[in-house]
Structure 1
């Protein structure tokens, strides 16, 4: 199995030449949203290879395509760009017909089918793929109910076979967590290095927010969709007898507001907060509630950068981002009382230790390990 721990490059000069400077490179990503963790990872990788052509299936309307240098596929010119579920079966075809250009190196950032792209024969094109997760809709509908509907139940097995067959040309995989590494092995029978995604811990851990916090409320952050379990967060807050702030946006908003009205504790909704406001919310919270099985989970690391402990489930990416009993508590059930009991213990934890741990997921560490991996796999 590929291991970055085994890669020990020779001492580097003070000023490094640009990565893959003498090779033609394409960087590809799925659909490109305005605010997404995978998009930020894609841009962080692209910064390492500034001359690479950046290709996406489509970009949301509020994305500055020209400023970011994005090139969209033919799917961007169809109504399917407004429905990921309907577009999903066509994505492998879109990636195989995205262009006739051939490149020396292709680096894909994939959480659906971007890793199936071919922009040159495998004999002369080196294809590396950073995996946020094998397509949840296709491989893990039990983790995310959005992929379990009747619309995808029929073609799911076909898409799984297509996914495996059309990605055999990938030379090397990297996963964003050990959780995803295991899925890659289970679903695709391939090894992968583990490179945790970058988190802007310098921004969220700034000294200007450390003393601003009353720490008198609980916090939930993320997309308001079923598998994030915001309804459970409301129950935990009620059980703990503490106010709750819910930050984000999503289709579950109306249902969550109805549940909040009957919670018995104050529940405040912050719709699409700015990064600056989100940092304030993290810094003021007694704990971040995160009762979801995630691939990695950038939000818990952002909270920890502010010295805020995390109360979550003992599965998925939280096993890698939270040190149980030191930077938060991981709970072995979905019972509100168990999570509330963990909330009552957060006074045992050290904010300094929590911030220190978050530093291991910095953007600088990601850039260094990603550059090592790319250099090693294209040597």
Structure 2
């Protein structure tokens, strides 16, 4: 990838060359130390769960704790559940939320030298009474949106949270003062940590399996990049309705891959569109890779904390048309790996499509290497080393 003038790609290479490759045994810096690895609830594997699993790869001997695990969660993974798992509250995150701080203070009577949490609600407040001298590190996916950003994706509108929200915010700050170091999954989340908790954090982007997506599917399964693609959960803030409008304005077919509560509404919108809109319900990982490789561009007009989907698409050499907000500012190089639009006007997105064919798909794929699992492992190893020695 020389000669393209991409400092981002060179930095990724430098990071990998300057740090030792992660090993699957516990790092020497933690030899002889006991480690607890804490996550919120563990559901069918999503973004935060994938980060937790990657942390387990860096610290394979750590003892894992979760509030509860869903029945369809990965089997065979050794995780200890909290007392909440034995109550009906495990079926309602909103109702369980006020009890989470207490749960994280009564998690176990065991003592650990290092406690690392993977948090998007209250896991960062975990404190073990039997481990007063422990070092506490917390990887933050986002300060709890239910509390701090209730209008971001609509979940905070639950009436059960209206009255306790102020008290829970105060508790969130007070109960996390013991945390020695934070890592944020993006600059967006780093800024929220500073704004809400008045704390600093280093940025460690989530791991993406770029090697898998960069491997082209069988030639006979590849398509001609004659369609636009939308991927993710079919819920309101993901803006799949806007994707349909963009494709309609561009007069290009659209493929929507995923599942979610908005399926019926989206199918009605698709029926009114002047272009073909097809739905891929819960595609396999292999099928998703084929869809990325076959698309002219990925549509991503949503405000995300980070956004793994654009990186997966770029690993396939597929450019991204995204909103100039949040994680897309860190993953998409405007004019080089895709285009960012500061608008919700579908015509502006459609207008950018005439430029995407001029982008170098090899360069797009190389840029995705910034967010590989190897880069994540090296960054986490460096963080843990800095904070525990």
TM-score by shorter chain over 0.5: yes
Residue equivalent to 1:317: 327
Match of 1:82 among 65, 69, 91: 91
Residues 229 and 291 of structure 2 are in contact (CA less than 8 Å); yes or no, is this contact kept in structure 1? yes
Decide whether aligned partners of structure 1 residues 16 and 207 sit closer, same or farther in structure 2, where only a CA change above 3 A counts: closer
User: Is residue 210–residue 306 contact of structure 1 (8 Å, CA) maintained in 2?
Assistant: no
| Corresponding residue of 1:226 | 236
- Deviation, 1:344, is 2.6
Task: For residue 371 of structure 1, report the CA deviation from its aligned partner.
Answer: 0.4
Name the CA shift for 1:73/1:15 in 2 (closer, same or farther; >3 Å): closer
Matched, 1:287 2:282: no
SS of structure 2 residue aligned to 1:62:
coil
Find out whether 1:173 has 2:177 as its counterpart: no
Could you tell me which residue of structure 2 aligns to residue 53 of structure 1? 63
User: Is 1:139 the equivalent of 2:148?
Assistant: yes
Partner of 1:191: 200
Q: Is the 8 A contact 1:103 1:120 kept in 2?
A: no
SS at match of 2:192: helix
Choose the corresponding residue for 2:255, options 245, 262, 276.
Answer: 245
Cα displacement (A) at 1:267: 1.0
Q: SS where residue 322 of structure 2 aligns?
A: strand
Cα distance in 2 for partners of 1:195, 1:112 equals: 18
- Aligned mates of 2:189, 2:377 — CA distance in 1: 19
Instruction: Tell me what 1:327 maps to.
Output: 337
Is 2:303 the partner of 1:303? Answer: no
Work out the CA distance in 2 between the residues paired with 1:52 and 1:46.
7
Matching residue of 2:110: 101
**Cα deviation digits, residues 241-296 of structure 1 (max 9, x gap):** 11111111111111111111111211111111111111011111111111111110
Q: Deviations over 1:43-77 (max 9, x none)?
A: 10111111111111111111234x11111111111
CA contact (8 A) 2:109 2:130 kept: no
CA distance in 2, matches of 1:118, 1:201: 35
Matched, 1:257 2:231: no
1:322-346, CA deviations, whole angstroms, 9 ceiling, x for partnerless residues?
A: 0000101100000111111122321
- What displacement does 1:142 show? 2.6
Counterpart for residue 18 of structure 1: 26
- Unaligned 5+ residue runs, structure 1? 1-6
Residue aligning to 1:3: none
State the partner residue of 1:372: 382
8 Å CA contact retained: 1:127, 1:172: yes
Matched with 2:134 is: 125
Are 2:163 and 1:151 equivalent residues in the alignment? no
Q: Find the aligned partners of 1:210 and 1:144 in 2 and give their Cα distance.
A: 39
Q: For 2:265 and 2:84, how far apart are their aligned partners in 1?
A: 33
Does 2:280 align with 1:270?
yes
Q: Which runs of 5+ in 2 are unaligned?
A: 1-14
Give the structure-1-normalised TM-score: 0.93
CA distance in 2, matches of 1:183, 1:361: 21
CA distance in 2, matches of 1:377, 1:14: 17
CA distance in structure 1 between the aligned counterparts of 2:313 and 2:321, rounded to whole angstroms: 11
The aligned residue for residue 11 of structure 2 is none
How many residues align? The count is 371
RMSD: 2.1
Quote the Cα distance in structure 2 between the aligned partners of 1:13 and 1:350: 29
Task: Tell me: higher relative CO, structure 1 or 2? Use CA pairs within 8 A at least 6 residues apart.
Answer: 2
TM-score normalized with structure 2 length? 0.91
What is the rounded CA distance, in whole Å, between the counterparts of 2:23 and 2:135 in structure 1? 26
The answer (yes or no) to whether the contact 1:240–1:344 under 8 Å persists in 2 is no
Report deviation, 1:118: 0.8
- Measured after TM superposition, the shift of residue 207 of structure 1 is 3.5
> 1:18 deviation in Å?
2.1
Question: Hey, what's the Cα distance between the residues in 2 that align with 1:306 and 1:325?
Answer: 17
Alpha-carbon distance in structure 2 between the residues aligned to 1:216 and 1:282: 12
